[in-house]
Chains A and B, each alone.
Chain A
Amino acid sequence: MSALPPYSSTAQITWYYAFRVICGLIFFFLIFPIIVIAPLSFNAENFFTFTPKMLALDPEGYSLKHYRDFFTNPDWQQALWNSVRIAPVATLLATAFGTLAAIGLSQSHVPFKSTIMAVLISPMIVPLIISAAGMYFFYSRIGLQGTYWGVVLAHAALGTPFVIITVTATLVGFDRSLTRAAANLGADPVRTFFKVQMPLILPGVVSGALFAFITSFDEVVVVLFLGSASQKTLPWQMFTGLREQISPTILAVATLMVAISIVLLTVLELLRRRSERLRGMSPG
C-alpha cells in the first residue's frame, strides 16, 4: 500500500487512487460534522444554517454573540460550574479506587480474578439507560437521588472501568523485578510504590483519569435521571437545549468543547509516547 510498484496495471492504478478517494470521503464523514459547527457558532443570526452573508464572507454575517450569551447567561454558567464541580471529584474517586484495584489485580495469585474483573468492568458494559434506571430507583430509596453526592458516586462508578483498563495495560509491561529489587534494597512497600511503581504506571493512571474525567464531563443520561436542578451539568443543559429551546449558543458551547477535546487528545498522545519510551517499546 505504501507505494505503487512501477509495473502496476491500469486497473491497479485506478483502484489505488479510487481507494484513496473513498478513504478521503470517509475521513470527511468523520470530521466534517465536528468542523462544521465552528463557523456556524459565529453566526450573527439565530439560525442553524449558513446565511447568505456568511457565505459571502461578509464580516457582518459573523458575530461573537452566542459566545457572549454562553459567558453571561446564568443558566449556562451554572451548568458549567456544576460540571466543573462534579467531574474532578468523580475523577479523583475513580482514579484512586481504580489504580489500587488495578495493581491488586495485576498480582499473580488473585482468587476469582475473572469474576472480579467482570464486576469491576460492568459499569462500562451495561447500557447507560439501565444504569440510570437502576440508580434512579435505588438512589431514590436511600435518599441520594437529586443530590450532589449521588451524581458524583454514579459518575465515579462509571469512570472506574477506564482507569482499570488503562492502568492494567501499563502494568502488563511492568517488570516485576524492579519492585523486588527495591524491596531487596530495603524500601518498604509504600516507598516502593511511590518511588518505583508509580512513575512507571503514571502515564496509564493519567490517561485513565482523563477517560474518567471525560466520562463524567460528557455524561448526560445518568445525571438526567439522578440529578436535580442544582446538579444541572453542561451536557444536561445542551440536551434540554437541543430538545426544547434550541439556540445557536449550543453550537458555541459545542465548539468550545471540541477545543477541550483537542487539548485532551494532545495530552493523551504525549502520554502514550512517553509511556512507550519509558518502557522501551518504541524508539521514538
Chain B
Amino acid sequence: MKLKTLLLATAASVAFAAPAVTQDAELPPCENCADTMTLVSWGGAYQTSQQKAYAEPYAAATGVTVVWDESSNEAVAKLRAMNEAGNVTWDVVDVVASDAIRLCDEGLARVMDPETELAAAPDGTSAADDFGDLLVSECFIPQIVYSTTFGYRTDVAEWNGKEPEDICAVFDLEAFPGKRSLEKRPINNMEWALLCDGVAKDDVYDVLETEEGVAQALAKLDTIKDQVVWWSAGAETPQLLADGEVVIGSTYNGRLFSVIEEQDQPVKMLWDAQVFDLDGWIIPEGLPEDRLNRALHFVKFATDTQRLADQAKYISYGPARASSAPLVGTHADLGIEMAPHMPTDPNNAKNTFLYNYTWWADNRDDLDAKFQAWLAQ
C-alpha cells in the first residue's frame, strides 16, 4: 500500500504546487565515452516525449548521436539473443517494471547503484529516497508512473446516450454493444475479469492463484471474446478508437490523452479500475566500457528531477521522482494544465487497482501459457 500513498502524495503536490523555477545543473563532462548511443523505446507519442525531454537536450549538450530502436515490446527476447551472442547493440533500454524484474533476474540487465549513479534531488534528497518504493528492481531506474485504463467513444448510437461508468461496462455487451480492444496478454485482463465477476479487490490474486480462479477469469473473458480485438502495441487502441473500429478499449493513459486532447477525437477516459504501472530505463549487462560510461552518463542526466518533470510537458504520465512533481507544468504545445490528466490525480484515482509485481513475476509463465491456449481456441 505504500506505493499507492506515495502516488497520491505525488498527485496532490502536482495539483497544488506552483510552477517552480527551472534550474539546470551543469552537465559534467563524460570521460572515455562512446559518441553514439542506441536508445530503445516504444515508439509513438511516448518516444517523442522522451526524445524532446531527454535525448534532444542531451544531444545538444554533448554532441552525441542518438539512434532510436522501437523494440521495447520485444526487449527481453532481443536482449537474450544479444547476450547469447556476446554482442549487445543496445545501450539504454526503456522497459516496463515487470520486464525489468525479469531482465534483472536473468542477469541480462546491469545492477544499478542509485546513490552514486543517479542524481540527487535539488534539495539534496538522495535518489534512492526520491524514487522511494518505485525502485522495484535493483536494475531499474523508473521514469514515469502510467496507468492502463480504458477509453471509449462518445458517439456510439447503440448506447442510447449512456456512457460507461465503471470497468464492468467492458463486459456488458447488452448495454454497451460493439467491439472492444484488450491487450494480448493475461496481465490486467484477468484481474478486471475477476473484479467484474464478483471477486473483491483484495482477493483477486488469491483467487487467481488457484486453477478455478484462472478458469473463472477466462470464463468471464469468454463472454466477450468474439467482440475483442487484441492489441500488442500501445498505439493500436487509440488508432482503433479514432477509426471507429472499436468502441471501447484499454491502453496506456498517455496514448488516450493524445487522442482526446491533441487529435480532438470523440473519445473519453474511463479511469475506473485503472492499473498503475511503472516504466523506466535499464542498462544491458555486458556493454564495453566506453558505451557503458555513455549510458550511465545519459541515465544520470535523463532521470534527474528537472528532466523527469519536463517529460510531463509532452505526455500525461506522472514523473517517478517525488521531487519532480512540483515542477510539472503545462503542455508544451496545447498550453493546458497537465496535472488533471495525470493518472494519479485524485479525481482520476478514485478507484485504482494495484498491480502485484512479485506475484506476476512468479506466475507469469504459467498464466501466459494458459491465456495463450485460451486465446487460440
Contact = CB atoms under 8 A, between A and B. Distances in A.
Do A and B share a direct contact in the complex (Cβ within 8 angstroms)?
A: yes
Contacts of A141: 84-85
Contacts of A243: 232-233, 236
Contacts of B84: 140-141
A48 to B, nearest CB: 7
A229 B40 contact: yes
A245 B44 contact: yes
Contact of A136 (B40, B81, B233): B81
Q: Which 9 A-B pairs have the closest CB atoms?
A: A229-B69, A244-B233, A140-B85, A140-B81, A143-B87, A244-B235, A245-B235, A146-B89, A143-B85
Contact of A229 (B44, B71, B236): B71
Nearest to A142: B85
Contacts, number: 62
Contacts of B85: 139-146
B68 A229 contact: yes
Contacts of B78: 146, 228
B24 interface: no
A229 B38 contact: yes
B47 to A, nearest CB: 10
A145 B87 contact: yes
B183 to A, nearest CB: 13
Contact of A143 (B43, B71, B86): B86
A12 interface: no
Interface residues of B, number: 25
A240 B70 contact: yes
Nearest to A146: B89
A93 interface: no
Interface of B: 38, 40, 43-44, 67-71, 78, 81-82, 84-87, 89-90, 232-236, 239, 243
A246 interface: yes
A230 interface: yes
A79 to B, nearest CB: 11
B128 to A, nearest CB: 32
Contacts of A48: 243
B82 A140 contact: yes
Nearest to B87: A143
Contacts of B81: 136, 140, 145
Contacts of B243: 47-48
A146 B235 contact: no
A101 to B, nearest CB: 30
Contact of A244 (B40, B67, B86, B236): B236
Contacts of B82: 140, 145-146
Contact of A228 (B86, B89, B239): B89
17 contacts: A48-B243, A136-B81, A140-B81, A140-B82, A140-B84, A141-B84, A146-B82, A228-B89, A229-B69, A240-B43, A240-B70, A243-B233, A243-B236, A244-B236, A245-B43, A245-B44, A245-B239
B273 to A, nearest CB: 26
A35 B68 CA distance: 34
Nearest to B239: A246
A142 B87 CA distance: 9
Contacts of A232: 69
